[in-house]
Amino acid sequence: MSSLELDDFTDLIERPDGGVRRDAEARRERRIVPPGSLGRLDELGEWLAAAQGAVPVRPVERPRVVLFAGDHGIAGAGVSARPAGGAEALVRAVLEGASPVAVLARRLDVPVRVVDLAVDCPPEAFPAEVVRHRVRRGSGRIDVEDALTEDEAEAAFRAGVAVADEEADSGTDLVVLGDVSVGGTTAAAVLVAALCGTDASVVTGRGGLPIDDLAWMRKCAAIRDALRRARPVLGDQLQLLATVGGADLAAMTGFLLQCAVRKLPVILDGVVAAACALVAQRVAFRAPDWWLAGHDSGEPGQAKALDRMALEPLLEQGVRVGEGVGALLALPLVRSAAALAAELPERLDEQAGKDEQAGEDDGPGAEHTQETGDAAGE
């Protein structure tokens, strides 16, 4: 039996400060630009203010990209354009600065952290800080076997919680969340289909490296078979992750929930992050208030999950590469919203009204004091 009490997250997670958000909205109404003229940037600035509990909103100064990595046994069924066990090469590219997310992160001056939960390679292949939270090598083939044992699922979930605490304690003020996996989109699609009550074909996409029609049919069949195994355990989210998820997905779910506990905002990347967010929502219904959807990857499973959580993507660029790239592209937008909310001045008529009110508050003695001061000067 697991000693992990997921129900505790419902009590631990609070919504962002509603009073602060109302103050941010009132501040917006007083700014020199007409209300609504900045579109979603206004909404973003107010969301961030509520998450920070501060008006004016503070700039995002210490963001970090956090990537959870793992191999999925289902990749051996021919559902991915990448070879089974190929996550090692993807992680190595990130660490060496040769991947898309590494290039963008350098340009945006954002550090990248990779957390290996289940990459199918010897742990000595990566630096110690990357493999410190590893649970196992690879995850089981979910169409015919469980991805993890229940103990492994709990260990992975707790690892995600620990990583969230590490980030919050280190001063990270916003997380860009992504995955580095092979076969991860298949596991994610199963989770989304199971939690949304849809058929496999509705959530089956082409993946980060697009697959051909034959591979898509294999992927759809694998998701269908895994769904049969998922439905009996829908009432137990940890068991669901153990049955059809994977160590990286279980860790991402724990990470998202603990970020909400620690009031640490998160930008979600693609379908894998969205699927984990959907599981986390089932655990604690207030948790999605702490997340933004960075972009629309074009994966049908992501669209289904975001719709269920009422999260609207910030960008639509068709980025399918994963690795947090789409979410990282949204970071400048969030930073811009914060800057505009904090630095745009208020209208002059509002300032004049304040000055007039201040004069009335001073009363008749204020004029006398001024005259006395002038006389003294003479």
- The full length of the chain comes to 378
Tell me: the pLDDT tens digits for 298-348? 999 999 999 999 999 999 988 988 999 999 999 999 999 999 999 999 886
**362 has a pLDDT exceeding 60:** no
pLDDT at residue 349, as a whole number: 61
pLDDT at residue 346, as a whole number: 85
Catalytic residue, from 88, 312, 323, 350: name it. Answer: 323
Average pLDDT of the chain to the nearest whole number: 91
**352 has a pLDDT exceeding 50:** no
pLDDT at residue 35, as a whole number: 82
- Residues 114, 95 contacting (CB under 8 angstroms): yes
pTM: 0.90
Percent of the chain residues topping a pLDDT of 70:
91
Tell me: the pLDDT tens digits for 188-205? 999 999 999 999 999 998
pLDDT at residue 368, as a whole number: 41
- Cα–Cα separations (whole angstroms), residue 163 to 109, 142, 200, 323: 21, 26, 32, 17
- Residues 259, 174 contacting (CB under 8 angstroms): no
Tell me: the pLDDT tens digits for 74-84? 999 999 989 99
**359 has a pLDDT exceeding 90:** no
Q: What is the set of domains in the chain, with CATH numbers?
A: 8-57+341-377 (1.10.1610), 63-330 (3.40.50.10210)
**24 has a pLDDT exceeding 50:** yes
Confidence of residue 378 (pLDDT cuts 50, 70, 90): very low
Tell me: the pLDDT tens digits for 271-304? 999 999 999 999 999 999 999 999 999 999 999 9
User: Which H, E and C letters describe the chain, residue by residue?
Assistant: CCCCCCCHHHHHCCCCCHHHHHHHHHHHHHECCCCCCCCHHHHHHHHHHHHHCCCCCCCCCCEEEEEEEEEEHHHHHCCCCCCCCCHHHHHHHHHCCCCHHHHHHHHHCCCEEEEEEECCCCHHHCCHHHHCCCCCCCECCCCCCCCCCHHHHHHHHHHHHHHHHHHHHHCCCEEEEEEEEECHHHHHHHHHHHHHCCCHHHHCCCCCCCCCHHHHHHHHHHHHHHHHHHHHHCCCHHHHHHHHCCHHHHHHHHHHHHHHHCCCCEEECCHHHHHHHHHHHHHCCCHHHHEEECECCCCHHHHHHHHHHCCCCCECCCCCCCCCHHHHHHHHHHHHHHHHHHHCCECHHHHHHHHHHHHHHHCHHHHHHHHHHHHHHC
To 5 degrees, how large is the angle CA 63–CA 65–CA 71?
A: 165
> What's the mean pLDDT in 21-31?
92
323 carries an active-site annotation? yes
